[in-house]
Amino acid sequence: MGMIDGGRIEAELDGFAARFSGPGGVVGVVSEGHVIARRAFGFADLDTHQAMTAATRLPICSVSKQFTCAAMLAACGAPEALDERLAARLPNFEGPLPTVRDLCNNQSGLRDYWALTVLHGAKAEQEFSREDAAKVYARTRTGHFAPGTRYSYSNGNFRLVAELVEEASGETLEALYARHIWQPAGMAGAVLTADTRRPEDGVVGYEGNDATGYMQAENGIYWRGDAGISASLDDMLAYECWIDAMREDPESLYRRIAVPQTFRDGAPAAYGFGLQHARVGDFAFTGHSGALRGFRAYRVASTEARLSVVVMFNHHGDAYGAAHRILRAALGLPHPVAQPLKERWSGRWISRETGLLARLESGYDAATLRFATSPETLWEAPEGGLASSSVTISRDGEDILMRRPSENHAERLVPVAAAPPAGSTEIAGRYHSAELDAGIVIECRDGGTYLWAEGFLGTGRPEIVLPAGPDLWIVATRRSMDAPAPGDWTLQARRDEAGRIAGLTLGCWLARGINYEKCG
């Protein structure tokens, strides 16, 4: 591919700590199988002044998913070998079960179990045991779409894969990781730290930002398969070098997990086996983000360009954006230059398929779409409308057309009428979901409306409920057991023949279409 622009990379790294400021972080670049840049900055622990180093092990969080899929292929040959074992993990599931390949490709339709912990009554910092995960699965009755037809990120997919692999192989996930990946790759320090209460090497994760200050993050969850690996920058760079060394071997584990996948209808999928597929410039890349409260990570690689970038923070910095700045610098690509919007795009629309509210807020040079897990930034597209790397928006009269190709999702959204004046107490009461075997309570008082969940994990904190339209509300969850939190939930009322509220439907992008019936 020609020479990497090493001078531009060094210039980016010289300004890295200031551009992505926070307590600490690490960044590294591999080109043609060699480490060409490697930096550590800041502190692993602010209170003790412990420096961040390239040997400090940090949680790589959901980057672990690709390791789980690779271990599954090494131990079992193919995901189809595990299909018959899945039903026992979902004993109350109604309708066609997803396949294990659907799990690996985030096409199962299973709602994300970390989002569901909010509706089972969990508080953000409480402990969540290995046994608790099985209880969430046991309550699962339906998915939020038919398996194989759509993409939706679901951490539980990979937790199920991990449990099935351990059951089938008779080995622990740690042993499979070590034998098939860590040892061959030379990842001498990599470990499975399933208990997030005990990070490796005394590293501390921080919530907050420069404006509010940084506070130590508190986690209590136990996870494995969907996340859980801790590794240093040196470990991750060794992994990238190993991928490059094995790039010509069609039987290498990375080549096998990086094969592009499809949906049931044959449409290409942008996600498969714990890897997101995308293009930067002229080259195809595979990568993945990771997030836990207090930590962010991203790694990305191209076997075509023979280029990899790894970024890890012990704060909530934009690891994805940081890695892509380095990629563009390495490839000699210009950084995007913002242009002012020619049209205003503010408004609210409802998705009939998902039941979710879409909100567009115009800025000077970009619009913010609030629909999926996190706010998405969209810019004006040359052909008109708005676009990002994952979604396009166009107008059709008062409606908008939303296309999300990587999720095999496209639909017309209709505008929502203005919200009624705040203060109505009609929604107040207690509701029960047969899907979750859990409840929610809505309280209206002193002009405010609040919702909390009650379930096998306890009684959750009250969340603010804001009117969004007729019989339509927004419930915001800003902190939860997983990070980032589910974000905004859409709450819709269902009325009986007499016009009274008989039930509610609650959903967010990670967990859609959950029905509740009013009690009493």
| Both structure tokens of 107 | 């096409």
Which residue in 31, 64, 65, 480 is the catalytic one? 65
Q: What is the full DSSP assignment across 80-93?
A: GGGGGGGGGGSTT-
Per the annotation, the verdict on 342 as an active-site residue is no
C-alpha distances out from residue 182 to 31, 70, 187, Å: 20, 11, 5
Which segments of 129-274 are extended strands (E)?
A: 191-192, 206-209, 213-216, 229-231, 261-262, 268-269, 271-272
495 vs 475: CA distance, rounded Å: 20
Q: Which of 261, 243, 237, 249 is nearest to 303 (CA)?
A: 243
Name residues whose C-beta falls within 8 Å of residue 69's C-beta, 6 or more positions apart in sequence: 104, 158, 161, 257, 273, 274
| Both structure tokens of 253 | 């584990």
Structural contact between residues 130 and 222, judged by C-beta atoms closer than 8 angstroms: yes
The helix/strand/coil state of 185 is helix
313 vs 44: CA distance, rounded Å: 9
| Both structure tokens of 35 | 């480490």
Question: Which amino acid is present at 394?
Answer: S
Structural contact between residues 17 and 43, judged by C-beta atoms closer than 8 angstroms: no
Structural contact between residues 377 and 335, judged by C-beta atoms closer than 8 angstroms: no
Which residue in 31, 62, 108, 252 is the catalytic one? 62
Per the annotation, the verdict on 135 as an active-site residue is no
Please count the helices (runs of H) and the strands (runs of E) in the chain. Answer: 12, 32
Name the residues annotated as catalytic. Answer: 62, 65
